[in-house]
Structure 1
Amino acid sequence: MNVLAVDDQINVLNGLMVGVQWKKLGIDQVYKAGNAAEAKRILRACTVDILLSDIEMPGESGLQLLEWVRNEQMDIACIFLTAHADFGYAKTAMRLDSVDYILQPASYTQIEESIQRVIDKINARRIQDTYASYGKRIIRDNASFEKMVVNQWPLEEKLPSTWGENAEEDNIQKIKQVKQYIQQNLDRELHREEIAEQVFLNASYLSRLFSKYTGMSLKEYITSEKMKLAHTLITTTNLSISIIALKVGYTNFSYFSQLYKQQYGVTPSEERK
């Protein structure tokens, strides 16, 4: 897996080169660029999986660079490093599907943790993509097989009891997969259709299954997990409330505050006092 670090300050770039434990993260190659134009040349010539970029740079900004990446349909995850806690920047970064927005000064440990989360997301998505079509075919074939057996099984005989046991185990595993996918994507808006597709289920059926095994609706669980993460960020970091709202997938600040108060009894601002 390869990384491209982009910053107009050479001391910041050099610091990243020696301060981040790239080998420990499993990074094969780290490229560096001092501006967006140089970054584009590298992106055209080399395979890059993660873009680690400053936002404010001479010429094109990091946001403009990411927009170019998206327009070029390059499959690259982006982490922004910036000294500016600007809500407008963060909102644009979210629209362009950046994975994280780190305020400087940040420790190399914090940067490593963010990169590791991105690596985990990339690996999970690649595995999912690799087996998606295969999994759908297996499910389709199994459904056809079970239908054939049920139709031809003698009426006076019971179907094997292990079928029910296997279905129970499968359902529990799917709920675990759903929870894991939600945890990996708390930074953006999640829809049940998208989640259902990840576990090869019908969206309505997934909703019923999730409620049965957790006692919560899918929407309630997602909101609860987002608010837990927001609570952690509010109580353990100096990030602005608006940035935290974006980090858990909300662009409407007042709606975020309303949901937070429903779960914790206070608004995010009151929590900070």
Structure 2
Amino acid sequence: MTVLVVDDQTNVVSGIISGVHWSDIGVSKVLPAYNAFEAKQVLSTEKIDIMLCDIEMPVESGLDLFRWVRKQGLDTECIFLTAHADFFYAKEAVRLGGFDYILQPARYEDIQASVLRAVQKVKNRREQQEYYSYGKMMYRRRDVLLEGLLKGWYIGEDVQLASILEDFEKLECPIRADTPIYFVLIQLLRWNSQDGIWNRDLLKYAFSNILSELFAQYGQKILLVQLDRASLAFLSYSDESVFMDESALRRQLTAFTEVCQAHFHCEVACYSGPRLSPPELTARTRELFRLRNRNVALASGVFFPNESLEAPQKHVDPPSLKRWESLLGSGYASLACDEAQAYLDHLAQSGALDAENLQLFYQSVLQMLCNAAETASVPPGEFLPEQKLFQRSLNTYLTIDDVKNWMSHAFRAFQADAHPKKDTKSQMEQIVQYIQNHIERDVRRTEIAEEFYLNPDYLSRLFKKEMGVQLKDFIVAEKMKVAQNLLRTTALPVSMVAAKVGYTNFSHFSQVYKKMIGRSPAEDRASQTEKPSDFSV
């Protein structure tokens, strides 16, 4: 807290400054001024909280000075001091918004008590301003706060419902424990046009607007949250006694799926159920996620838990596994893959594809590939599923897209030109050359595996076996060799050197460089007159 003492009498100013116990009342800084001109200079350069000001001063009075303060928009409290009990002075001081009016001579204790009250007023005002600013910030960030509050609840985590409802109240969201709500899980299935893929945030904003408009027709409001790249969820509620029946919910969700297809060129599935109350939401979300996982055919539409997604009992021709195996053995992997994927599409379109059928198909194709690989001498690592997909096949439901994407990769290993008559050493040389040719990029294992038609896990094992070093460590070492050469032979800034070997984070580059070379980039550059150290992996 800073105080300015203004009086044309030097002894009055020095007496007040020395006579008041400023630290006892929360004042850390006291400044003097001996006329209005000096006071204006101080007020223009310092943040003055309280001004003790004499009214009668030559050239410009204390009242005139305080008018100037108000005109400047300064938030300063003013305590007027005067030796004359003039009613006009007192009236004008009050009109201008002065905090207090003290007749001189006054005891220092009285001045101190008045300043203390002014200090408290300033503190109260600042506190109110902070609350007001915080309130405005909270209101502006209401959607962000709600999303953080709701996300865990929406994905079925165990939450403290009482705490969530209390936060709802703070955010002026009228949802209580007995409020009727609907919960809807949205799954983004596919884009029908690659040119029309929307940005994630923009798509959420558009979905929110469309759903708000659709549900407002029934007096409902929505709280939409993005759960992950392909999932959103919302609950609908009313802040009045307006209820939406289940048939209306289905109609609006169906309308939403149609809008998505017509205007966003994407297909979605909406999973929902009967009306419920907030205490029942966690169980409902888990139920809807199970329902979504059973939609392995990625069918669009509106689905409720009491409606089975299981395939109807109908005759389905078995997959042509023997034919596909024969095509693979003859080098026609692309044709075999097209037929296998077309078979899956036929199952989905006829409504015969369920989780069990898809899992059985996946296992049958995997066994067929093992048989074909034994005949064609294709290493298992080139067609076996990656660890992530393998774990999913054991612990949860695969989707039709999971299996089709895996087949595209796995069948490619059987192409007639996928295994040219070159030894492993030649293949390693090509991989090393690829890394060196793309040293300015963030080269990843998956990129290299795709380039050389290898399974990423198999590539890692093969590289370690043939080169004696982990692939990741080799890539880093190659980057550091190039960086060291640039540092010692050019005047490029270190940040530019980092960029030339694929590092966008300068700090991370420096840490890696020091770990590999033993010195920071700057230190190594400074030692360029010394004999370069051999660097190898």
Give the TM-score taking structure 2 as reference length: 0.27
Match for 1:34: what amino acid? Y
- Unpaired runs of 5+ residues, structure 2, are 143-166, 182-240, 242-537
Deviation at 1:147, TM superposition (A): 4.9
Cα drift, residue 60 of structure 1: 0.3
Is structure 2 residue 39 aligned with structure 1 residue 11? no
| Aligned counterpart, 2:403 | none
Counterpart position of 2:115: 115
| Match 1:145 to one of 162, 173, 185 | 173
Is residue 84 from structure 1 mapped to residue 112 from structure 2 by the alignment? no
Alpha-carbon distance in 1 for matches of 2:29, 2:91? 30
Give the AA of the match of 2:85: A
How many angstroms does 1:26 deviate by? 2.0
Moved over 6 A (4+): none
2:74 corresponds to? 74
One-letter amino acid of the counterpart of residue 129, structure 2: D
Q: Is the 8 A contact 2:53 2:80 kept in 1?
A: yes
2 CA distance for matches of 1:40 and 1:144? 45
| Mapped partners of 2:172, 2:24: distance in 1 | 46
C-alpha deviation, 1:150, in angstroms: 5.4
Rounded Cα–Cα distance in structure 2 between residues aligned with 1:152 and 1:144: 17
* Deviates most, 8-17 or 141-150: 141-150
Who is 1:57 aligned against? 57
Confirm or deny that 1:102 pairs with 2:130.
Answer: no
Q: Does 1:30 align with 2:30?
A: yes
**Aligned equivalents of 1:18, 1:143: Cα separation in 2:** 50
Matched-pair contact (CA < 8 Å) for 2:77–2:99: yes
8 Å contact kept, 2:169–2:175 = no
Query: How is 1:73-222 mapped onto 2 (pairs within 5 angstroms)?
Result: 73-135=73-135, 137=139, 142=170, 144-147=172-175, 149=177, 151-152=179-180
3-state DSSP class of the match of 1:145? coil
Distance in 2 separating the partners of 1:107 and 1:31: 20
Change (3 A) 1:130 1:143: closer
The verdict on how the C-alpha distance between 1:119 and 1:145 changes in structure 2, with shifts beyond 3 A counting, is same
SS of corresponding position for 1:114: helix
Residues 1:143 and 1:39: Cα distance change in structure 2 (over 3 Å): closer
Describe the SS at the equivalent of 1:73: coil
Matched residue type, 1:16: I
Task: Measure the CA separation in 1 of the matches of 2:170 and 2:27.
Answer: 39
Using structure 1 for the length normalisation, give the TM-score.
0.52
Q: Distance in 2 between matches of 1:51 and 1:142?
A: 39
Offset at residue 10 of structure 1 (A): 1.0
**Shift, 1:151, TM fit:** 3.9
- Which SS does the other structure have where 1:101 is aligned? strand
Secondary structure of 1:80's counterpart equals strand
Partners of 2:168 and 2:174 within 8 A in 1: no
1:22-71 residue CA offsets vs partner (Å, 9 max, x unmatched): 12222111111111011111111222111100000001000000000000
Counterpart residue identity of residue 100, structure 2: D
Cα deviation code 1:105-139 (max 9, x no counterpart): 11100000000000001001101110124347499
Structure 1 position 152, deviation (Å): 2.2
Q: Deviations over 1:172-220 (max 9, x none)?
A: xxxxxxxxxxxxxxxxxxxxxxxxxxxxxxxxxxxxxxxxxxxxxxxxx
What is the deviation of 1:82? 0.8
Identity %: 49
Render the CA deviation track for 1:227-251: whole Å, top value 9, x for unaligned: xxxxxxxxxxxxxxxxxxxxxxxxx
Letter of the 2:101 partner, please give it: Y
Give the deviation of 1:145 after TM superposition. Answer: 3.0
CA contact (8 A) 2:77 2:98 kept: yes
The structural deviation recorded for 1:96 is: 1.1
- Give the root-mean-square deviation of aligned CA atoms: 2.9
8 Å CA contact 2:168, 2:175 repeated in 1: no
